[in-house]
Structure 1
Amino acid sequence: MGMFRPGRVRSLLLAFLATILVCTVYLYWTPTTASSTVSVVPSTAFEVPLVERQKDFWKAFQPIIERHSPNCPSPEKNGDAGANNYDPVKDSPRPDLTVMSEADQKAMEDAHANFVEDIKKAGKDLKPVHTPGKRGLVSTAGATYLPVFVSTLRMLRRAGSTLPVEVYMKDTGEYEKHLCNDILPNLDARCLVLADVVGKNVIEHYQLKIFAVLFSSFEEIIWMDADCFPLGKPEELLDSEPFTSTGLVTWPDFWASSVSPLYYKISRQEAPAMTARQSSETGVFLVSKKTHLFPLLLAAYYNFYGPSHYFRLLTQGGPGEGDKETFLHAATAMGTPFYAVSERVQAIGHQNGEKLSGSAMAQTDPREDHALITQDKWRVKDPAVASPPHIFFIHANYPKFNPGDNVFGMGWETTPTINEDGSDARAWTAPPETLHRFGYDVEKAYWEEIKWVTCHLETVFKSWEHKAGLCMKVEDYWKNVFAEPHDDDPKFTPDG
């Protein structure tokens, strides 16, 4: 009976309540930093909050990167690669427009090999940031990209996707408190600031992408640039071939590869034939950190030393030089599988005389592309072998569809929203055979979301602070172009 004494019961009760209090604080406390826009709730009582995992990872990874710097001057230019179209049938010499001494090549080769060796033997000291089994979408945005990103996010939700989203910003100068704290969480999106982890001015522009991927809490990632959006639920791609068997899916750019032969020597690879694949366009890609952590670490190395060394080696001044070739080539250097979509990217825009004024890129459903390739049907070599796959992603990149920027009027050479007579017009009316692959009126849906963002958030974005009348302008454009059908509206299925 002594166990039921009032004093003992009171002590047990107080101990129980104290335990609950400690567990509650552990589960829900989050450091108050700009990157913590919503509470980081660990998936288990034993999981360290994300920001702490990010800092621990960078503390271990940064010395490895810095220890293996190229240790030589930047490669020298002997001209720049042109915008050469990809030919999958007729081989041609690989562009060789970059010069390095044999000593510098050897220094870079040794640094590359030693970096790879170090990340392989790092073991638990280089513990990944992600939560096992978690999947989501990652992007970067800031300043004038933020209104574009929110329109993209609404297109993602319009497609039925329930994936959580992490959007990374370079530093606190790009962080917009009201947007990040009050608006984006309602769309299951959160803001994180890279400078909170790596420090200020450590990484720049094109380098942001790989570090956003590495610091993300997701194990399976769909990357989309702020100006990319899907036409369907992208999470379905993660449950399908070719992703399930490879762990990395990339899409093509318009151009032929312009990787320098020197890169292949430095990374100890055989240079592939120019017919092997197009150059990469990394506005969108799929990656698993479970299967491709080492290639992602090597891609981070390429990007960290990209402006000084690797961007030149991987593109040689070709179109879009930056991070675009770092992901696929890191996979080839590490000998890990990948799937490069074979179907050509398609430009969409409007006809300007005999010329197409393109303002977006249309990328193919990888499931349909893979199904054709497994039947040895290569449309890239012979379009007649099969009907074209559906379009799955739009990269609306030229210009950005930002009502507060140059999407209206003559501020951009492609003048996407006006006719030759100056009247309001659709941006995407050609080529018709590509529009047929959409399945629905994608442009109208996109502008519906742009209109919502503009008229509900006109006073929210910092980049719109001194721009009045944006909602009225978008509503007038919508009324003129989309409110009523027109006889010359494009068709979005082969049968109209």
Structure 2
Amino acid sequence: MLRVHGILRKFRMRLHGYNITRSKISLIGALLIVILFFVTINSSSSASLSNETERQKDILQTLSGWLPGENGKGNTVPFANTGAATGNEFNNIISTTSDKEYWRMKDKAKLRLIKEAHKVQDPGEKLLKKRHEFYSNVFKVFDQGKPKIGELNQYLAEDRIYHARYVHGEQEKLVFSEDYLKGFLHLDDSQVAAMKEAHSHVVKNLPDSLPENLYSGDGIVYVAGGKFNWLTLLSIKSVRALGSELPIEVIIPTLDQYEADLCARVFPALNARCIYLPYVLGDGSRDSYVTKFKIDGYQYKALAVLVSSFENVFLLDSDNFPVHAPDFFFDSEPFKSSGLIVWPDFWKRATSPYFYNIAGIELSQTELSPLYDEGGGQYDDVISNGVPLDLKEIPLHRRKGSIPDPTSESGQLMISKKSHIRPLLLALYYNLYGPKYYYPLFSQGSDGQGDKETFLAATTVLQKPFYQVGQFLIAFGYFDSHNDFKGTGMGQFDPVEDYYSIVKRKQAGTTSTDRDRPFEERPRVFFVHANHPKLEPWGLKKDGLIYDENGSRLRMYGKGMKKRIGYDFEAAQWSNMKSLLCDLRIHVGLYENVDRDELCSEINAQLDYLKSTASSLE
């Protein structure tokens, strides 16, 4: 300000002798002050933008440092040199946007970013056009295969099949026989005929193979968007911390869920990239059959597998956390020989007998499929003698030709598009018409209704190989002050160790199962599916889920996690939260209206508690 007054004094001296009034001089002086103010502000803004650019560089350098391999770039990761993290388009846009607003870009700006990022991978967009044509042709088949009847919602009673948990040896108490399973959802002959006609058309017209070079390589795929952007970031951080070099693709379903900072800077720095679903699916083209479908919810998983660039896909839920690097799965059994790996869920299969009629599958009346022993962690072969089965006393899904018990848990899935493109497309068909037709057929209102049954159902219908992990999942959680168990997640096991464990037992001719072995000698826990509640720190605080009834902090996963997976999972995840949200202060839309300092205070407090109780772990 002293500098301004000095300039004004000199200005008045130069005006001496001219016929200019004091009021005019004051006006000119005021104008000068305004001009100097804006010059100062602009200089400050430029410095602020420069500081923000430096801050972003520091963030990117830190993120890249989390990657395995030389200079944080593994040799097998194709996205490391795309330039997406510091793309010119993104930098041009944020150069005129403030730090607090650039991640709230307008839709047009987002689309520019999406197109530029895609052109890095496919400069002439020849591959994109090739995929659009393939998808449109497939969706034409789906459109022609629309059931020409109303929604399947007629039940014989108000009761549904709830809490049908799979427990070996309990079949005698409540047999899920053909007659029993026909007692819920009801279809008349005309409905069965219409469904059968539509299903048959789709199966007959699905392509037998893929166009050449449509997909390539191995990789991890997430479905994100909204709050799942944060969970995906947290899971990716965990995957990279484990040393995984697999490329990652993050499917973003809608434009409002596309967060520019994450997609253009953060994810690419972790060798991951966003794929905007409508853009790669081609639903913007008026002549595409994709536009005929309303896509939402459970349809996203099958679509994510389809539109990803990978030939071999490891699909992970955003709230699922591998506890070991999964890279070796793709080159190992059972994936090499089966092309599809699924993991078990807690529930008995409740698929309606009508489905098998619709799919043209005649279930055996003399032969049984292997019996699943969830405690033993394996399927036990059953010798058939050709004698007709007592169908009233045999579970429908023990009969040869049926989808095997138990149900599948789709928090993780592995599939080869080369060997299983037809099952993948048929699973997508089931999901597109799922809410009105196929979900009621698969689950009849039982627990876990949704996309999870569609992959194995389609594979069974088309008689393609698959591997369902034998080791039964475990529940994670803690016991409250009343000694009641509070579940917070699920643990799934290593499919490779599971496979070789079963092979070894069969080769040795032993009848021993995992019931006879201590936990440490069984296949290792490989995934923590933290599905309820989600690892979202602010929500956990607001809902009081990290406090007991007395207001004291608690461990949501109890004291046994270190013994089960080899390290303190809970402390590791809260440490990751601190790194991402507090140390790097990465912009995440979920926390737009949350005070970051207050959020970080909560994260630090919970992390301190977890560290202070580390000695109590088993």
Q: TM-score if structure 2 supplies the norm length?
A: 0.68
Selected match of 1:156 from 235, 239, 249: 239
Most deviating of 33-42 and 256-265: 33-42
Q: In structure 1, how many angstroms separate the alpha carbons of the residues matched to 2:320 and 2:410?
A: 10
Q: 1:77-119: CA deviations, max 9, x gaps?
A: 3432111111334542243311111111111112111111101
Equivalent in the alignment of 2:448: 320
Gaps of 5+ in 2: 1-86, 90-109, 285-290, 364-368, 370-394, 399-403
Q: Retained in 1: the 8 A contact 2:298–2:450?
A: yes
Q: Would the alpha carbon gap of residues 380 and 70 (structure 1) be closer, same or farther in structure 2, given more than 3 Å must change?
A: farther
The aligned residue for residue 162 of structure 2 is 82
SS at 1:363's partner residue? strand
For residue 68 of structure 1, report the CA deviation from its aligned partner: 0.8
Inter-partner Cα distance in structure 1 for 2:115 and 2:540: 33
Give the counterpart of 1:481 among 610, 615, 618: 610
Q: Is structure 2 residue 247 aligned with structure 1 residue 174?
A: no
Shift of 1:58: 1.9
Specify the code of the residue in structure 2 equivalent to 1:461.
V
In structure 1, the residue matched to 2:144 is 67
Deviation at 1:457, TM superposition (A): 5.8
* Residue 455, structure 1, aligned to residue 582, structure 2: yes
The separation in 2 between residues aligned to 1:486 and 1:437, in whole angstroms, is 15
Q: Which residue is equivalent to 1:391?
A: 525
Aligned letter for 2:202? F
Aligned position for 2:407: 279
How far, CA to CA, are the matches of 1:115 and 1:29 in structure 2?
A: 45
Local SS of the residue matching 1:136 = strand
Match of 2:478 among 338, 350, 368: 350
More helix by share: 2
Matches within 5 A, 1:352-431: 352=480, 353-374=482-503, 375-376=505-506, 383-384=515-516, 387-404=521-538, 406-408=539-541, 410-411=543-544, 415=545, 417-429=546-558
Answer whether contact 1:170 1:193 (CA < 8 A) is retained. Answer: yes
Q: If you compute each CA radius of gyration, which structure gives the higher value, 1 or 2?
A: 2
CA distance in 2, matches of 1:137, 1:459: 22
- Taking the aligned partners of 1:350 and 1:66, their CA distance within structure 2 comes to 48
| Structure 2 match to 1:146 | 229
Go from structure 1 to structure 2 and tell me whether the alpha carbon gap of 1:49 and 1:389 turns closer, same or farther (over 3 Å shift).
same
Equivalent residue, structure 1, for 2:117: 38
Give the drift of 1:381. Answer: 7.5
- Which amino acid in the other structure matches residue 38 of structure 1? A
Q: How far, CA to CA, are the matches of 2:338 and 2:447 in structure 1?
A: 27
Distance 1:251 1:164, change over 3 A: same
- The residue number in structure 2 matching 1:296 is 424
CA shift for structure 1 position 29: 13
The 3-state SS of whatever aligns with 1:77 is coil
| One of 191, 194, 215 as aligned partner of 1:104 | 191
Quote the residue 1:339 is aligned against.
Answer: 467
Work out whether residues 227 and 400 of structure 1, in 8 Å CA contact, stay in contact via their aligned partners in 2.
yes
Q: Indicate if the aligned counterparts of 2:119 and 2:125 stay in contact, CA closer than 8 A.
A: no
Specify the SS of the correspondent of 2:117.
Answer: coil
Task: Write out per-residue CA displacement over residues 378-412 of structure 1, whole angstroms, 9 at most, x where no aligned residue.
Answer: 999762257432100111110111123x222545x
Question: Do the aligned partners of 1:221 and 1:288 also contact (CA within 8 Å) in 2?
Answer: yes
Aligned partners of 1:130 and 1:216 also within 8 Å: no
CA–CA distance in structure 2, aligned partners of residues 184 and 42 of structure 1:
15
In structure 2, the residue matched to 1:236 is: 328
Match of 1:215 in 2: 307
User: 3-state DSSP class of the match of 1:255?
Assistant: coil
Q: CA deviation at 1:418?
A: 1.9
> Does the aligned pair in 2 maintain the 1:131–1:218 contact within 8 Å?
yes
Counterpart amino acid of residue 145 in structure 2: H
- Other structure's SS at 2:255 match: coil
- Mapped to 2, the partners of 1:56 and 1:203 lie a distance apart of 19
How has the CA–CA distance of structure 1 residues 221 and 429 changed in structure 2, closer, same or farther, with 3 Å as cutoff? same
**Paired position in structure 2 for 1:5:** none
Which secondary structure does the structure 1 equivalent of 2:541 belong to?
Answer: coil
Deviations for 1:402-448, whole angstroms, at most 9, x for unmatched residues? 123x222545xxx2x22343122221115x4x753312222222221
Any conservation in 1 of the 2:113–2:264 contact (CA below 8 Å)? no
Deviations 1:206-250 (A, max 9, x none): 110100100110001100011111111111111111111101000
Matching of residues 2-13 of structure 1 within 5 Å: none
Q: Are 1:351 and 1:357, in contact at CA under 8 Å, matched by a contact in 2?
A: yes
Amino acid across the alignment from 1:131: Y
* C-alpha displacement of 1:464: 1.0
Equivalent residue pairs, number: 449
Deviation at 1:128? 7.4
Letter in 1 for 2:132: K
Deviation larger for 234-243 or 80-89: 80-89
Displacement, 1:463?
2.0
Q: 1:370 to 1:479 in 2, by over 3 A?
A: same
Superposed CA offset, 1:29-62 (max 9, x none): 999655446344458x9x9555334322222111
Q: Distance in 1 between matches of 2:126 and 2:310?
A: 13
1: CA distance between counterparts of 2:515 and 2:575?
Answer: 34
Aligned residues of 2:476 and 2:557 also touching (Cα < 8 A)? yes
Structure 2 counterpart of 1:116, from 188, 196, 203: 203
CA contact (8 A) 1:42 1:49 kept: no
Match of 1:24 in 2: none
Amino acid at match of 1:81: I
The answer to whether the 8 A contact 2:514-2:522 is kept is no
From 55, 61, 65, the equivalent of 2:132 is 55
Identify the range of structure 1 (66-75 vs 48-57) with the bigger mean alpha-carbon deviation: 48-57
Residue of 215, 227, 230 corresponding to 1:131: 215
* Separation in structure 2 between the aligned mates of residue 453 and residue 437 of structure 1, nearest angstrom: 26
- Residues 347 and 435 (structure 1 numbering): CA distance in 2 closer, same or farther, change over 3 Å? farther
Structure 1 residues 305 and 156, CA, compared in 2 at 3 Å: closer, same or farther?
A: same
* Higher mean displacement: 105-114 or 455-464: 455-464
Q: Quick check: 1:220–1:287 contact (8 Å CA) kept in 2?
A: yes
1:458 and 1:470 in contact (8 A); partners too = no
> Residue 21 of structure 1 aligns with which residue?
none
Equivalent position of 1:437 in the other structure: 564
1:195 shift after superposition:
2.2
Residues 456 and 385 of structure 1: is their aligned pair in 2 closer, same or farther, counting only changes over 3 Å?
closer
Measured after TM superposition, the shift of residue 291 of structure 1 is 0.7
CA distance in 2, matches of 1:174, 1:378: 53
CA contact (8 A) 1:342 1:380 kept: no
